[in-house]
Structure 1
């Protein structure tokens, strides 16, 4: 798959593409990332990419012409009609189901806004989908783009050391969308706090039952909305409900 990223700051992506486990996805070509700076496609001696907003107000607005030239350059390089994705406060919140869908796609063109935003005429003409990370504002779309790329990369075959690791992640369908359970490692007693006995028992059925109970309780306490979603899909069994009732 290929992701083309339109950004005024391509240098921000260097650590993402060269460090950490997910770099395997980029180095192997499982996820190809191409960076494009609109300044390279802007006209004039100053290669201007932004201007003051009509109607007044603070800040600057990214201009449509350089963005269009950048997009047409990318379109000429790609053989598909990849969707153009803008990271924006009005977008749908990115969730695990969305990441899974992107991880099985052929990629997209990711548009990273800056300043006060992007000329709305470009958005109306070219943007196919808008995505948000949540109800807060970033300085630009680069961090959001990196979040999507990282989440997609770790789902690719061979990227994680243990191929089953992501199946135990919070929100994964393998866990019925619940939050993951707590995890422990050596030493068995740290600062007076021991590891739960069941995890040292070697009894796999008991361990899995404990983990299920922990996932249910954590989700009920911290993300009851997710628990209700699982209930509506018929993923919470009568045994699960008894575990929740017993804890209450």
Structure 2
């Protein structure tokens, strides 16, 4: 309902609340607000006195106003110092309570976010411990640390050299050297002559051609070509 939305606005008070604080009948408070409206003009009054409505105990829809801080001060000037003090105390207390509630809600949201971050970090760390490939292990450990923060605190390792799968290397050798050799034969030769080392490439996780599983495969640097040519 409109009046409930207005009541949720920060630093506001309804004419019903003002009637309760002042001890005046509500229709008298409405009369005072309308009198202030006549004095300051409709345009300025609408910015501080928001016309709304409420339902009484008999179900009748009746008018009321929702006042912001400036409206409360404007209307409060008509009343005694004691009443003005109570009005300001009440609206300040409402605002403080609302701020505390918002802070509490935000704190809960932040706590949940932190829990999710910690869980992600834990999973990544566990994954890194189950992988033998040093490059992937290091990458997962870096992700595990970075996920805890809004901005990355560790840089991922740079890949400076272009690498090739056995089939890609086979095509490269054919294109650049005119030598026909299959990816399978490249794999056999490099195994036989211990060429799968850090000097000539690295182990990486690739998708298996026959399933969705991740399998370790060796990715070659192009400097291995000269070594392979020795054994062809």
TM-score by length of structure 1 reads: 0.20
Normalised TM-score (structure 2) = 0.21
**Relative contact order, higher structure (CA 8 A, sep 6+):** 1
Q: Please identify the structure whose Cα radius of gyration is greater.
A: 2
